[in-house]
Amino acid sequence: MAMHQSEADNSLLIYMGATVLYGGTILYRAKKYRMEKSLSFCWGLLLLFALEVLCFATLRSYLGFSLFSLVCLLFCVYTSDQAMLPVNSKAVLITGSDSGIGHELAKYLDRLGFVVFASVLNEKGPGAEKLRKTCSERLSVLQLDITNSVQIKEAYLEVRRKLQDADLWGIINNAGVLGFTADGELLPMHCYKQCMDVNFFGPVELSKTFLPLLRKSKGRLINISSMAGGIPMPRFAAYGASKAALSMFSGVMRQELSKWGIKVSVMHPSGFKTCIQGTPEFWNKEERILLENLTPDVKKDYGEDYILNLKKLLNDMFAVSGSDLSPVLCDVLHALLAEQPHGLYTPGKNAYKFLLIFCYSPLWFYDFCMSKMIYTSSIPSALRAAEAKNKDL
């Protein structure tokens, strides 16, 4: 009996040692190469742990340990480091570089040695001036409103002129607008149209214009969508619909452009602190426009207090958003230089978790989780009245 207990203790020690060795190696590589954002990696890690428990429970001998070690080895091979292409002054075009992700991305890629064409909405604005002062001579600032067909063509000619005989390696469609966040019924049509113009039609037209250059280089097309572009989120009807359209466009282009050697990736970042949320002045203006254009019955049913409380969502989301943009920057770099980039990246807190819940759980469970994430204590006036009436009965 004592001998069997000793063998069990030895087996446990061996498995614990293997767990520390393999687990430490895998987590180190995951941290270094950001594989923790991959759904397949997370599921693989869970299955690996389950297999270890199973092997120890049923095969405490060296046979079980050998089986576990073999699976760990295969897992390490499967998640091996992808070969990364050299920078070699590769040229990339980034839209929306005035501020936020686009601005930081332009500076980041410039530091790494890329030739950066940073397009801005205002070439004389503070964001453009900061890029000129802080970046190398390899970076060029381009005036580009992506909703303006003339400016897109001018930017194309300017990029071709500056590249001369060199190739354009990457296009990063980053420019976007959030618009006003409110119930879809309340949003004025200009919010829907603006979001579609900037977040979808602009990137589509720019991509179509510059694709001949990517076909020559067999380069990369990267579209910055949103977490709201992959899952339905309350108050984001206009923004989410435009980003979902961009995500679908990315998926179709990934399939169609593969025959030309062009790799297409789409990013679904979670919340980050950028200027896309707008200013208090912008929100006050949009709030006034919304109230002025509501029909009397809709305004009565929702109530002005409910509408005025919508701004609280923006403050709540900004408070929980991340200020460190490095997850997005690292994923964009991987999409640019990995020999086999992913079709989908989900940088940021909870982006892949909610996508997983939406894809694999019942809709009622997803809706429950989303109601907890985007919680509002405000209730439309008509619903409050109906609730009060039911209590009186």
- Which residues participate in catalysis according to the annotation? 239
DSSP 267-301: E----B--GGG--HHHHHHHHHHHHHHS-HHHHHH
Which of 235, 260, 237 lies closest to 376 in space, CA to CA?
235
Long-range contacts of 133-139 (CB under 8 A, 24+ apart): 134/107, 135/106, 135/107, 135/110, 136/110, 138/89, 138/110, 138/113, 138/114, 139/106, 139/110, 139/115
Which of 36, 43, 33, 170 lies closest to 114 in space, CA to CA?
170
Q: Where do we find the tokens 């005035």?
A: 98
Name residues whose C-beta falls within 8 Å of residue 38's C-beta, 6 or more positions apart in sequence: 342, 352
Rounded Cα distance, 325 and 105, in Å: 9
Rounded Cα distance, 297 and 308, in Å: 17
DSSP alpha helix (H) spans, the chain: 2-33, 39-58, 62-78, 100-112, 126-134, 149-163, 189-196, 202-217, 237-257, 280-293, 296-302, 304-308, 311-320, 326-337, 351-360, 363-373, 381-392
Rounded Cα distance, 66 and 226, in Å: 44
CA end-to-end span of the chain: 72
DSSP alpha helix (H) spans, 115-257: 126-134, 149-163, 189-196, 202-217, 237-257
Q: How many C-beta atoms lie closer than 10 Å to residue 199's C-beta?
A: 30
φ and ψ at residue 375, rounded to 5 degrees: -95, 135
* Structural tokens at position 292: 């002025």
